[in-house]
Structures are given as structure tokens and as C-alpha cells.
Chain A
Amino acid sequence: MAATEIARQVGEGCRTVPLSGHVGFDSLPDQLVNKSVNHGFCFNILCVGETGLGKSTLMDTLFNTKFEGEPASHSQPGVQLKSGTYDLQESNVGLKLTIVGSVGFGDQINKEDSYKPIVEFIDAQFEAYLQEELKIKRVLHNFHDSRIHACLYFIAPTGHSLKSLDLVTMKKLDSKVNIIPIIAKSDAISKSELTKFKIKITSELVSNGVQIYQFPTDDESVAEINGTMNAHLPFAVIGSTEELKIGNKMMKARQYPWGTVQVENETHCDFVKLREMLIRVNMEDLREQTHTRHYELYRRCKLEEMGFKDTDPDSKPFSLQETYEAKRNEFLGELHKKEEEMRQMFVQRVKEKEAELKEAEKELHEKFDRLKKLHQDEKKKLEDKKKSLDDEMNAFKQRKTAAELLQSQAQQAGGSQTLKRDKERKNSGFL
């Protein structure tokens, strides 16, 4: 079969051709969206913050529902992560929401390692995805994506500055996840203090090189609102699931003797801004950034760690293949070694057992021989005794017959003697 010729005129310099009528591929975004809706979406939020900053309450408020039954028990010594997955439905959209909360963060005396469980958790989710992606038979499009798309970092409302724990933790997390810092329980701060606090936090983050998530401003439709919101970071939020009657409406609020704080009132707190940014405007972008930036970085580091390299473009395909081959041979070699070891051990054990059994057999044989000899001796003894007994018996019999004979002879003689005596007596009587 002759060779083929491939002529391509494709490339970045593709011409744009005009259409002479309606074709219909403008329905493509709809087709794509319909498929995604049928498939369902998933979104994973991680809440990091000290105990008592209202993480669970804020989640309940954001998603208009009560997620947890009872508050987390703080009995464990280290930092734990507790996660729950929930299926939410709004009109025809199904969302698989996973909320992960830190438990015991900031409670320890020595907080040097507090950030570690959190980093490990995030990495574990990346690892799970990477493992699936590297499988030979994989089902990526049905894989439940557990990677964290957004990390809400809860800052305590001290009004002064960030704690060193906050800075250290955020610095460790900023290359792994989209961080959105928020000021929790912000009804504890007055408005003027709040402005100063926000400025202090932002400057501290910048001076320490912490990369927080920036709402994207490249799409014109959302550039303006995202730009404004970026300036309001960190959001000062309040959470509440209690509804109070204010005016003639039921609203989420917190009641104090001196007044009522309304959660959804933008002059009272930034809750509405957070909800807008997190869910209604940028949820898709958060997911995309997680996949194209944070996950790719993790994957690159992990593969490089395992010894893979992308060399220059010319040898790229071959070097990867070579590396695979090398790794595979190495692995097979190890496998062989292990197999050999096990086989050796097996052979060894068998030998030992065999020796043991042989020993036992030998013992048994000896015992058998001994017993046999004993038995023979006994038998001989018995036979001897029997023989001697027989001899005795025979001797006795002989004596007996001899004696009887003697006796009968004697009797005869005596009988005749008696007769003779009687006769003599008789005869003598007649004289």
C-alpha cells in the first residue's frame, strides 16, 4: 500500500470566512451547558480559621440551610479537617457541594505545625485526581472532583493586624489554593476601625508576598464589578441563621440590646458581596483556576519529583518514553529482586521443614527399632519361660506317670499280699 500525503493549511493563520446563511452552531454553548447540567457540577470549599470564628454558621448562611447536626467536638489534640458533601438543587441545576472545615486550628500551644494537616489535605485531593489521570483505564469525566476550589480564611476581628499564624498559614496555602480572606464576626468592630483594619491586613499581605485570589477582570461583562470587589477585600462578614422580623419582612439578623445587625444589609457587613463573588459571579472561574493553575503546578512538581523531565522540544517525546522505560525496568527489577527473595525464603523454609521431618522420621525409626528389639526380647523371654514351664510340666507328667505306675504296682503287690494274708488267716483258722 502506497504512502500517504498529508497537506495541512491549518494553523494560527486561519482565514475567517463569511457565512451565507444561518448554520446553527451558535447553539453550541447551549449544547455544552445542557450536557454540563445533566452531568451536574461540583464545588468544594475549605474553611480555615480558629475555633469559634463562626465558620459553620457562615456556611449555613451562605447556602441557606443547616448543614451540621452538632458542632464539632474539639477533643483531639492536633488540627483536624472535617468534611461533608451535600447535594443542592436550584431550578434545574444540581450542585454537589463539599464543605471542609478545620477543627482545632489555633488551639494548640505550639502552632508551628498547625498548617501542615491543611496543606496535606489539599495535596491529597490533588493526588487523588492525578492518580486517576495517570491510570490506563480512567473515567475522568465521571470522576468526583474533590479538589478544593476556594479557601475562605477566617481572620479574627481583633482590629489590629494579622496574627503570625495567619500569615504563615496563608503563605503556605497561596500557591495551592484560591485564598479569599474574610474578617469573621465583624459585628465586633466599628466602621472606622474596620477600614483601618482592612488597610492594615491588605498591606501586611502584600508586604509578605501572600497571593490571594483576585477576581478576574479580563471579561468586560464582569470586569467592573470584580474590580470594585477586589478593592473591598478582605470581606467583613457576619453569619446568622436566625430570622427576625424587621419592618414587615423576615430577615437573617443578629439581635443585640443596642440594635439589630442585618446580614444581608450591605451597610452592615459585606456578606452580600461575598455571596455575589463566591457563588454568583466567579464560581466557574474559581474551578478553572484550581484546575489550570494550582493543579498543574502540583502535577508538574510531583512528576518532576518522580524523576520525569521535559527536555528540549526535539527529544521531548523520546525522553519521556525513555524515562518511562527506565522507571519501568527499575520497578521490574525491584519486583524480580523481591520475588527472588521470597522464593529463597520459601526454599529455605521448605529445606528446614524437610530437615525437621527427616529428623523426626529418623527418631521414629529408631524408636521403632528399639521397640521391636524390646518386643523380641520379651518374646524370647516369654518363650524361654514357656519352654521351661513346658519342661517342668513334662517332667512332672513323667514323674506322675512313674509314680502312678509305681503305685499301681505296689497296689497289685499289696493286693496279692492281702489276698495271701487273708488266705493264710483262713487257713490258719482251720487248724
Chain B
Amino acid sequence: SADNKIEAAMSELVPEPRQKPAVPMKPVGINSNLLGYIGIDTIIEQMRKKTMKTGFDFNIMVVGQSGLGKSTLVNTLFKSQVSRKSSGWNREEKIPKTVEIKAIGHVIEEGGVKMKLTVIDTPGFGDQINNENCWEPIEKYINEQYEKFLKEEVNIARKKRIPDTRVHCCLYFISPTGHSLRPLDLEFMKHLSKVVNIIPVIAKADTMTLEEKTEFKQRVRKELEVNGIEFYPQKEFDEDLEDKTENDKIRQESMPFAVVGSDKEYQVNGKRILGRKTPWGVIEVENLSHCEFALLRDFVIRTHLQDLKEVTHNIHYETYRAKRLNDNGGLPPVTTETEENHESNL
């Protein structure tokens, strides 16, 4: 009974958990279709108008050895001269001795929608003799953007719209060797798939036949799976069954997209199309039987653009934030979390 007495004494001293203010909630499902039109669905229009007014930010990074056609592909994707090579940088400039990060921003407009597009190039990646840890500057840059956003968010007087420089999408260019992924590819994707959305693409796919292409893609997919590399769209973030079915098809059949880029136009069958002219024919970039560029473009821009941003914001950024705040010692005792930890320690 001495034990009991001590236990009783201890429980007196341990503070009671704070009562949360009670607001009675009783969700009642009411289908108002029968009772006359209210006008709730107009919120869609209201929201659309609001977003058109504020405009969008999109930040896309391209990573891969030089000569794989990164800049050309980005220009083709956005049908305009948005990459570094076209913005006044010397095309004949030397390959840098270290990995550099160069970001260029442009504003493009279509159908009343204004988009501030930032293309982040990484010249020097994979071009050295010793490429050890060459992904580190890239990872550092990505984390710096998260840090910038976090600092803004944590301010007391903060901006209405925090400028978003976080990398929403990273296109990783795989060399069309036809064999398998190189160790550098695996290392990069292993490290970076945890902090950013990676979309692997097979560059300069016009050097492979259809069979070679299919086999290579299968091998790449297998290798990525074996190495536990989750590229975008990640399985764990599928929101509902519809998403899952759609994304499964993309993950298991289409990706990685085998693409060809071009910013030159040619006349084919009376139409002007983007393509590459070779002695044996014109490769039509937007022709699905020639290459998968159109699939990539639709995927990144027309269907999953908003989702890329949301996954970056809701998942990658939150992961960074949680880690950062934990390392920093956490936030002041406003949360009850720390108090609960306190009790459990005793």
C-alpha cells in the first residue's frame, strides 16, 4: 500500500491534459438538388476567376550530361525560347569544371493564363572524370529554395503571396545507351527522389528502334524498382482509385518517356510541324508513332502540372519543414505535443 500512496501522490502532481474548446459538430448529409437551386456551384467560377487573376509559378529543373538535348527539349515543351542556351548564353561555351545551377525566368501567357516559368539548368553534371557527389550542389539548391519559403512562412508579418521558387519538377535525362542505367543515374535518382519530383526521360530517342525502345524502357523500369527509386507520380501519393488507375498506367507502361526535341519546323504533308530532318526522313516530334514527346508534354503540362506543384508543397516541402524544425529544437510551447512528450518521459 505504500506504492499506491506514492502513485496517488504522483498523479496529483502530473498536470491534467488541457481541455480543448468544444464546438458541437453534427454533419448531416442533405442533398439540396431536390429543393431548388442555391448557387453553390458558382464557387468554381469564382475560384477560376481568382486564379486567372493571380497567375501561376512553375519551376522546372533539367538534369543530365551535356549534349543530351536538355535545352532543346525544354524549348520544345514550352514552344518558346525559355532555356538558358537561348537567353543570351554562348552556345559554344565550355563545359564548366563544377556543377553549376543556372535559373532563368520568363513570363508566358496563353488563353488568358499568365505563367511565370523558371527553367533551372545544371551544366557540368556528370561531365567530369570524377563525378562523385555531383548531385550534392543540386540537392543543396533544392533545399535552399525550401529554406527560403520556410523563412517567409515563419515571418510574423508575411507577404500575401509567398514567392515560390521551389523546384516543382526535375526532368532527369537518361542517355539512350540501350543497355541499362548508369551508376550515376541511379545514385542521383536515389538521393533526389526523396526531395523532389523526378521524371526520368530517355533523351535523343531517335537513335533507337521501336523494339530497342520498348526493351530499354522495361529494363530501366525494372532497375528503378529494384533500387527502390520512386519517381513521379509516386505510388504513395495517389489520392483515390481514379488517380491510381490513371497513374498506374503511366508508371507501368509509358514512363520513362522516350523523347526527341526540336525547335525547327518542317513542311510535312502540307503542314508545318516541329521535327528533325535526317537523310532517311523527318522525325516528327509531336507524332506519337515517332516518339513520346506529346505524352510527356500532356503529362507534365496539360494534366499533372497542378499536381506536381501540390505534391511539392504538401509533401516534399512539409517533409523538409518538419525535419528542419525538429533539428532546430522545435517551435515554442504553443503545441500540446511537447507537453505530452514531457508526461511520457516521467
**Chain A residues in the interface with B (C-beta under 8 A):** 1-11, 14-33, 35-38, 41, 62-65, 67, 82-93, 95-96, 98, 121, 124, 130-131, 134-138, 140-141, 146, 219, 221-222, 275-276, 279-285, 288, 292, 296, 299-300, 303-304, 306, 308-310, 316-317, 320-321, 324-325, 327-328, 331, 335, 339, 342, 345-346, 349-350, 353, 357
Interface pick from B35-43, B65-73, B179-187, B205-213 = B35-43
Nearest first, the 10 A-B pairs at minimum CB distance are A26-B111, A10-B105, A4-B137, A284-B46, A31-B306, A2-B98, A280-B39, A64-B35, A24-B302, A327-B332
Q: Is the CB of B338 within 8 A of A331?
A: yes
- Separation of A138 and B96 alpha carbons in the complex (Å): 41
Q: Is the CB of B110 within 8 A of A284?
A: no
B59 CB to nearest chain A CB (Å): 9
Q: Is the CB of A65 within 8 A of B46?
A: no
| Contacts A25-B113, A89-B31; A35 near B24 (Cβ below 8 A) | no
| Contacts A3-B98, A35-B306; A325 near B33 (Cβ below 8 A) | no
Q: Is the CB of A19 within 8 A of B110?
A: yes
Most chain A CB neighbours (cut-off 10 Å) among B29, B40, B115: B40
Q: Is the CB of A320 within 8 A of B154?
A: yes
Identity of the chain B residue whose Cβ is nearest the Cβ of A121 in the assembled complex = B23
Residues of B within 8 A of A93 (CB): 40-41, 43-44
A106 CB to nearest chain B CB (Å): 22
Residues of A within 8 A of B47 (CB): 32-33, 36, 284
- Beyond A19-B108, A84-B25, A303-B156, 5 additional contacts (C-beta under 8 Å) are A6-B101, A19-B79, A64-B38, A85-B27, A91-B41
Partner of B335, one of A95, A131, A303: A131
Residues of A within 8 A of B165 (CB): 10
Partner of B32, one of A90, A275, A284: A90
Q: Is the CB of B79 within 8 A of A38?
A: no
| Contacts A10-B104, A63-B32, A219-B53; A85 near B333 (Cβ below 8 A) | no
| Contacts A87-B27, A131-B334, A331-B333; A21 near B50 (Cβ below 8 A) | no
- Separation of A19 and B108 alpha carbons in the complex (Å): 7
| Contacts A23-B108, A91-B41; A285 near B46 (Cβ below 8 A) | yes
- Separation of A89 and B134 alpha carbons in the complex (Å): 53
| Contacts A19-B80, A19-B110; A136 near B337 (Cβ below 8 A) | yes
Residues of A within 8 A of B301 (CB): 23-25, 27
Q: Is the CB of A296 within 8 A of B158?
A: yes
User: Is B228 among interface residues, defined by CB-CB distance under 8 A?
Assistant: no
20 A–B contact pairs at CB < 8 A? A4-B98, A5-B98, A10-B104, A17-B81, A17-B82, A18-B80, A24-B301, A35-B310, A38-B240, A62-B38, A64-B36, A130-B334, A131-B334, A131-B335, A134-B334, A137-B322, A283-B40, A304-B156, A308-B156, A331-B332
Residues of A within 8 A of B342 (CB): 335
Partner of A279, one of B35, B40, B156, B335: B40
- Separation of A63 and B28 alpha carbons in the complex (Å): 14
Most chain B CB neighbours (cut-off 10 Å) among A96, A222, A279, A350: A279
Q: Is the CB of B52 within 8 A of A29?
A: yes
Count of B interface residues, CB-CB < 8 Å: 112
- Separation of A320 and B324 alpha carbons in the complex (Å): 14
Residues of A within 8 A of B134 (CB): 1
- Separation of A37 and B13 alpha carbons in the complex (Å): 49
A296 CB to nearest chain B CB (Å): 7
Most chain B CB neighbours (cut-off 10 Å) among A4, A292, A328: A4
- Separation of A95 and B37 alpha carbons in the complex (Å): 14
- Separation of A31 and B337 alpha carbons in the complex (Å): 36
Q: Is the CB of B6 within 8 A of A350?
A: yes
Q: Is the CB of B5 within 8 A of A136?
A: no
- Separation of A56 and B237 alpha carbons in the complex (Å): 42
Residues of B within 8 A of A21 (CB): 79, 274
Partner of A310, one of B102, B103, B105, B155: B155
B231 CB to nearest chain A CB (Å): 20
Secondary structure call for the B interface:
mixed
Residues of B within 8 A of A288 (CB): 50
A262 CB to nearest chain B CB (Å): 14
- Separation of A225 and B49 alpha carbons in the complex (Å): 16
- Separation of A15 and B322 alpha carbons in the complex (Å): 36
- Separation of A22 and B80 alpha carbons in the complex (Å): 10
Residues of A within 8 A of B77 (CB): 23
Residues of B within 8 A of A15 (CB): 106-107
Identity of the chain B residue whose Cβ is nearest the Cβ of A95 in the assembled complex = B40
Q: For chain B residues 137-160, which have a beta carbon within 8 Å of chain A?
A: 137, 140-141, 151, 154-158, 160
Identity of the chain A residue whose Cβ is nearest the Cβ of B133 in the assembled complex = A1
A332 CB to nearest chain B CB (Å): 9
Q: Is the CB of A14 within 8 A of B9?
A: no
Partner of B337, one of A65, A82, A130, A135: A135
Q: Is the CB of A31 within 8 A of B140?
A: no
A307 CB to nearest chain B CB (Å): 8
Q: Is the CB of A25 within 8 A of B110?
A: yes
- Separation of A98 and B27 alpha carbons in the complex (Å): 9
Q: Is the CB of B136 within 8 A of A16?
A: no
Q: Is the CB of B156 within 8 A of A33?
A: no
Identity of the chain B residue whose Cβ is nearest the Cβ of A307 in the assembled complex = B332
- Separation of A275 and B39 alpha carbons in the complex (Å): 9
- Separation of A33 and B113 alpha carbons in the complex (Å): 14
- Separation of A95 and B100 alpha carbons in the complex (Å): 48
Q: Is the CB of B332 within 8 A of A306?
A: yes
Q: Is the CB of A17 within 8 A of B332?
A: no
Q: Is the CB of B2 within 8 A of A2?
A: no
Residues of B within 8 A of A280 (CB): 39, 42
Residues of B within 8 A of A349 (CB): 5-6, 9
Residues of B within 8 A of A299 (CB): 156
Residues of A within 8 A of B239 (CB): 38
Residues of B within 8 A of A327 (CB): 332-333
User: Is B329 among interface residues, defined by CB-CB distance under 8 A?
Assistant: yes
Residues of B within 8 A of A29 (CB): 48, 51-52, 113
Most chain B CB neighbours (cut-off 10 Å) among A25, A222, A321: A25
A329 CB to nearest chain B CB (Å): 9
Q: Is the CB of A65 within 8 A of B334?
A: no
Residues of B within 8 A of A89 (CB): 31-33
| Contacts A4-B99, A283-B43; A90 near B331 (Cβ below 8 A) | no
Residues of A within 8 A of B98 (CB): 2-5
Residues of B within 8 A of A3 (CB): 98, 137
- Separation of A14 and B103 alpha carbons in the complex (Å): 12
- Separation of A15 and B334 alpha carbons in the complex (Å): 44
Residues of B within 8 A of A28 (CB): 51, 56, 113, 115, 305-306
